[in-house]
């Protein structure tokens, strides 16, 4: 019963999103665009002309491989020296020099009502106090940034630009939606024994990504509502497109990438089931950092697995991916994931973890949820020795 009020409250607010900019993936999951995020990236591109760079948005870079980035910059360039843009540039300069990332901006904007509306989505949302004084000063700038972006939305008729190019946005949404199976989210919930009121996947064709193979960005936004958190992802385009004369000519949109789509829709959403419940064991697991042997750590470095706790977390998320594929009756996908994660990405403990997790899967009466079973998995990790880990590593990494 405790989810009924938050869910109804949530759906009432999200129903205002224009149907042409979102597509249902499952009963309580959708993919769409967020006008606040598109507006932000339109303005960020103009602001970078004044502050030189922000994340992957770099002054002077050719973004013709991303049609919306390229043509939107041309469209809104008359506003480059507008007072709104000048002020936003100064705010972004301060935020960049503190955060070195625009993730906190996306977090803030996605928790606001969609432009041109004003105010937070959830007035009673749980708010975490920022302890760092410098970041606290930056947080104070967020409402001004939001108001400036909202003013730009109205002044530059961003809504008109989105409407004029709705065919491109719809095409991009279709490319993502076709690579997500409708049964995936119910299967994830069943396997973990937990539900969330909604899953939100936003694509942002306006998010700049520097050209190059396998170049894309996915960001796990934090959406707070009165009952907790809503899993969400924001993802850029991931395919480099050949430049055409105008947006109307495009028949592909930069998002038809099965591997990237399933990674952000499944892998990153699974983090929402794993990370919060694993955090209570963080100190215990970090105490076993000697298990992260040096030769293995060096192999994992390109994947950002910098310490043992992150290594454990990423193992558990990938374990979920494989076992959920099996639960959905897709043994071929499970085998593909095993090959990818174990043989190519060096998550060498996965074969051992699969043997452990069958106990959970065989007795869901005793273990109602993954959280109930997690102490046993943590104990298993803690029972390992560096010698065992080394042997497992060599098993998959012998020349």
- Residues in a beta bridge with 233: 201
pLDDT at 61: 95
200-213 average pLDDT score? 94
- Residues in a beta bridge with 218: 235
- Token reading at 286: 């970090």
Q: Return d(Cα 300, Cα 297) in angstroms, integer.
A: 5
In terms of C-beta density within 10 A (0-12 exposed, 13-18 middle, 19 or more buried), how is residue 39 classed? buried
Q: Residue 1 pLDDT > 90, yes or no?
A: no
CA torsion 371-375-379-381 (nearest 10°) is 20
Q: Find the helix or strand (DSSP H, E) in which 352 lies.
A: helix 350-362
CA torsion 279-280-286-292 (nearest 10°) is -60
Q: Return d(Cα 87, Cα 46) in angstroms, integer.
A: 11
Question: Which one, of 370, 265, 352, lies nearest residue 315 by Cα?
Answer: 352
15 phi/psi in degrees, rounded to 5: -65, -15
Q: Return d(Cα 380, Cα 6) in angstroms, integer.
A: 36
Long-range contacts, stretch 153-161, CB < 8 angstroms, 24+ apart = 153/35, 153/39, 153/115, 153/116, 154/115, 154/116, 155/79, 155/82, 155/84, 156/42, 156/76, 156/79, 158/35, 158/38, 158/39, 158/42, 158/115, 159/35, 159/115, 159/116, 161/42, 161/72, 161/75, 161/76
Q: Residue 6 pLDDT > 50, yes or no?
A: no
> Mean pLDDT across the chain, nearest whole number?
90
Encode pLDDT of 60-116 as tens digits: 999 999 999 999 999 999 999 999 999 999 999 999 998 889 999 999 999 999 999
Q: Classify 127 as helix, strand or coil.
A: coil
In terms of C-beta density within 10 A (0-12 exposed, 13-18 middle, 19 or more buried), how is residue 128 classed? exposed
Encode pLDDT of 337-385 as tens digits: 999 999 999 999 999 999 999 999 999 999 999 999 999 999 999 999 9
Q: Return d(Cα 205, Cα 203) in angstroms, integer.
A: 6
Q: Return d(Cα 254, Cα 241) in angstroms, integer.
A: 6
First and final C-alpha spacing in the chain = 56
pLDDT at 70: 98
Residue showing tokens 């004044």: 50
Q: Return d(Cα 77, Cα 47) in angstroms, integer.
A: 10
pLDDT at 167: 95
139-151 average pLDDT score? 95
Q: Return d(Cα 47, Cα 372) in angstroms, integer.
A: 49
Q: Find the helix or strand (DSSP H, E) in which 24 lies.
A: strand 22-26
Instruction: Please give the full DSSP string across 185-241, using - where no structure is assigned.
Output: HHHHHHHHT---S-EEEEE-TTS---SSTT---EE--EEEETTEEEEEEEE---SPP
Encode pLDDT of 8-17 as tens digits: 333 443 444 4
Look at the chain and count its residues: 399
Instruction: Please give the full DSSP string across 26-51, using - where no structure is assigned.
Output: ETTEEEE--HHHHHHHHHHHHHHHHH
pLDDT at 374: 98
Instruction: Please give the full DSSP string across 329-347, using - where no structure is assigned.
Output: T-HHHHHHHHIIIIIIT--
């Amino acid at each position: 019963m405790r989810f009924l009020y938050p869910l109804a409250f949530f759906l009432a607010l999200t129903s205002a999103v224009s149907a042409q900019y979102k597509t249902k993936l499952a009963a309580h999951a959708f993919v769409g665009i967020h006008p606040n995020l598109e507006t932000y990236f339109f303005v960020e591109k103009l602001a970078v002309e004044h502050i030189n760079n922000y994340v992957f948005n770099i002054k002077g870079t050719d973004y013709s491989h991303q049609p919306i980035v390229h043509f939107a910059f041309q469209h809104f360039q008359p506003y480059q020296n507008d007072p709104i843009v000048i002020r936003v540039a100064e705010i972004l300069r301060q935020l960049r020099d503190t955060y070195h990332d625009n993730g906190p901006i996306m977090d803030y904007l996605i928790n606001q009502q969609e432009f041109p509306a004003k105010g937070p989505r959830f007035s009673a949302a749980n708010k975490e106090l920022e302890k760092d004084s410098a970041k606290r000063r930056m947080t104070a700038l967020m409402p001004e940034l939001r108001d400036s972006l909202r003013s730009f939305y109205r002044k530059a008729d961003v809504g008109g630009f989105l409407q004029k190019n709705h065919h491109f946005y719809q095409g991009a949404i279709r490319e993502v939606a076709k690579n997500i199976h409708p049964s995936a989210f119910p299967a994830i919930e069943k396997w973990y024994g937990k539900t969330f009121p909604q899953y939100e996947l936003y694509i942002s064709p306006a998010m700049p990504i520097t050209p190059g193979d396998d170049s894309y960005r996915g960001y796990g936004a934090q959406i707070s509502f009165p009952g907790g958190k809503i899993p969400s992802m924001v993802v850029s385009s991931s395919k480099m497109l050949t430049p055409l004369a105008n947006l109307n000519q495009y028949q592909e949109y930069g998002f038809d990438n099965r591997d990237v789509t399933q990674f952000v829709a499944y892998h990153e959403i699974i983090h929402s089931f794993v990370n919060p419940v694993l955090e209570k064991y963080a100190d215990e697991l970090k105490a076993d950092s000697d298990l992260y042997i040096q030769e293995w750590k060096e192999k994992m470095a390109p994947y950002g697995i910098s310490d043992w706790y992150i290594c454990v977390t990423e193992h558990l998320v990938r374990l979920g991916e494989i076992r959920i594929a099996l639960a959905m009756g897709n043994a071929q996908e499970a085998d593909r994931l095993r090959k990818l994660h174990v043989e190519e990405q060096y998550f060498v403990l996965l074969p051992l973890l699969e043997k452990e997790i069958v106990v959970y899967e065989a007795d869901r009466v005793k273990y109602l949820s993954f959280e109930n079973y997690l102490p046993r998995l943590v104990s298993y990790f803690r029972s390992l020795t560096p010698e065992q880990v080394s042997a497992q590593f060599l098993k998959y990494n012998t020349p």
